[in-house]
Amino acid sequence: MSEQIPVHNVTPPARKDGDTVDLYASREKIYTRAFSGLFRNLRISGGIVLFLLYFGTVWLDWGGHQAVWWNLPERKFYIFGATFWPQDFILLSGILIVSAFGLFFITVFAGRVWCGYTCPQSVWTWIFMWCEKVTEGDRNQRMKLDKSPMSASKFTRKLAKHSLWLLIGLLTGLTFVGYFSPIRELVVDFITGQADGWSYFWVGFFTLATYGNAGWLREQVCIYMCPYARFQSVMFDKDTLIVSYDPRRGEKRGPRKKELDYKAHGLGDCIDCTMCVQVCPTGIDIRDGLQIECIGCAACIDACDTIMDKMNYPRGLISYTTEHNLSGQTTHTLRPRLIGYAAVLLVMIGVLTGAFFMRSLVGFDVSKDRVLYRENAEGRIENVYSLKVMNKDQVDHVYVLDATGLADLKLQGRREIRVPAGEIVTLPVELSVAPEQLPSSTNEVKFILRDVEHSGSEIQAKSRFIGPQVR
Ligand code: SF4
Ligand code: SF4
């Protein structure tokens, strides 16, 4: 006899007012409940470190300027002791690629820990939720407040909440712009109304972006807007750490008295208190299984562990686990995919570190004048060049210039070039040769720049010396 495939009706329910089907579900506001626990404490500690880094780094000085500073007008990027120029952007791209691989590695190993603990969207959302709790109360109070008609008390609470949100947004925006425009001057100019229009525009833009993302959009950003959320599920395997409910232990769920011999009544450990749902910032029920909305924040673990403690049941009904663990199989921590990511990551970090320390700290560029050649008062053939010397180091350098490539080659102009730290010096120089010494009408010449004070290293740049036709 042939087996029949079971069929489930997945048609969305019709609206009450007719037979048309509403495919658009408007967002339901999520009222999260306050909770405590190990993972919450970890998140707060991590959040404080990130906050200090974000708000504090911008105020540090290094080598006479802001320690981390995207100086866009001069096209220089300072990160503490290192200065990056447009030519070094390959290194910055490398840093981004290494960061992406680091994220892949972490995702394969521990799922969405980045989302739950360190993503700015999550960190700022948790802070905004805290402001909400301080001004409007906990979950039930907020629900009641939203249902109540407008009153002086409601207005004051809402005003306080939005003011706090805007203040945090403003500090975030000001700090962000401060990474591009020196923060000390920016803050003073901003307050005194002396800042330029673009500064006001960008601070306003990032203030509103923070206010909108962390205050209003929240989980919508993670669910619908974040590209990382979309593609990371393909990186998961059955050994990736996920936040999961153990249905074998939890079902059959149901309320009961603490002292009841629930197992004798066919009940599992889940008392169906819905605390795990009430604390979830994305409003999902983890008991329904792994869902794309889950950002792995572990709030439901903390909430459920508290309930388990109250019931005197063992902790871990919701826990960090793996699909293999849940199905009773062994979890393989070291697996080919993870080892592959780790190996690629280590190689890339090695290459990047090598490239960083081996990069030349002097840039040298020679361009020849458009006038092909001229004869000077001594009857020598003369070519004019423009030299550009770029000091990428944090200290001043003195270079000595020389030129080779032709017999009787004379260099006129400055031989000693002092280039301040992080600056570019452009200077004209002339080379001259007696016409009878020219082997050809176009000849290769080399400019040599020696760093006499520091490394003694030299850098060369080639150019052409043009003369009249040689018979
Ligand atoms: S918090 Fe734990 S006990 Fe309560 S509903 Fe969730 S899984 Fe069940
Ligand atoms: S289900 Fe749990 S881990 Fe996932 S987002 Fe909700 S509270 Fe966080």
pLDDT in tens, 159-197: 999 999 999 999 999 999 999 999 999 999 999 999 999
- Give residue 266's identity as a one-letter amino acid code: G
Identity of residue 420: P
Going from the Cα of 270 to the center of ligand 1, the distance in angstroms, rounded, reads 5
**How far, in Å, is the centroid of ligand 1 from the Cα of 372?**
84
299 CB near ligand 1 (under 6 Å):
no
* Least trusted range by pLDDT, from 126-130, 146-150, 221-225, 316-320: 221-225
Atom 8 of ligand 1, nearest CA residue = 270
pTM (whole model) above 0.75: yes
Structure tokens at 113: 């820990």
Residue with the nearest Cα to atom 8 of ligand 2?
Answer: 297
Q: What is the pLDDT of residue 19?
A: 54
Give nearest CA residue, ligand 1 atom 3: 270
CB-based pocket (< 6 A), ligand 2: 243, 279-282, 284, 286, 294-300
- In the chain the domains, ranked by start, together with CATH numbers, are 237-326 (no CATH), 362-466 (2.60.40.10)
pLDDT at 126 over 50: yes
The least confident of 82-91, 111-120, 248-257, 403-412 is 82-91
User: How far, in Å, from the CA of 97 to the mean position of ligand 2?
Assistant: 29
A 10 A CB-CB count for 400 gives 15
Q: At 75, phi and psi to the nearest 5?
A: 50, 50
* Ligand 2 mutation target, pool 126, 291, 295, most atoms within 8 A of CB: 295
> What is the average pLDDT value for the chain, to the nearest integer?
90
Q: Is residue 79 helix, strand or coil?
A: strand
pLDDT in tens, 80-110: 878 888 888 888 889 999 998 899 899 999 9
Confidence of residue 18 (pLDDT cuts 50, 70, 90): low
CA distance 116 to 298: 8
Whole-number Å distance, alpha carbon 225 to ligand 1 midpoint, is 29
Given a contact cutoff of 8 angstroms between Cβ atoms, the answer to whether 117 and 13 are in contact is: no
Q: Does the beta carbon of 306 sit less than 6 angstroms from any atom of ligand 1?
A: no
When pLDDT is cut at 50, 70 and 90, the band that residue 27 belongs to is: confident
Give pLDDT tens digits for 34-62: 999 999 999 999 999 999 999 999 999 98
pLDDT tens digits along 398-445? 999 999 999 989 998 778 999 988 888 999 999 999 999 899 999 999
Measure the CA dihedral 30/36/41/42, to 10°.
-60
Residue 8: both structure tokens together: 């489930």
β-sheet bridge partners, residue 368: 385
pLDDT above 70: residue 7: no
Residue 42: which residues within 8 A CB-CB, separation 6 or more?
117
Q: Do residues 467 and 438 touch, judged by C-beta distance below 8 A?
A: yes
Q: Tens of pLDDT along 211-242?
A: 999 999 999 999 889 988 888 878 889 999 99
Alpha carbon of 283 to ligand 2 centroid (Å): 8
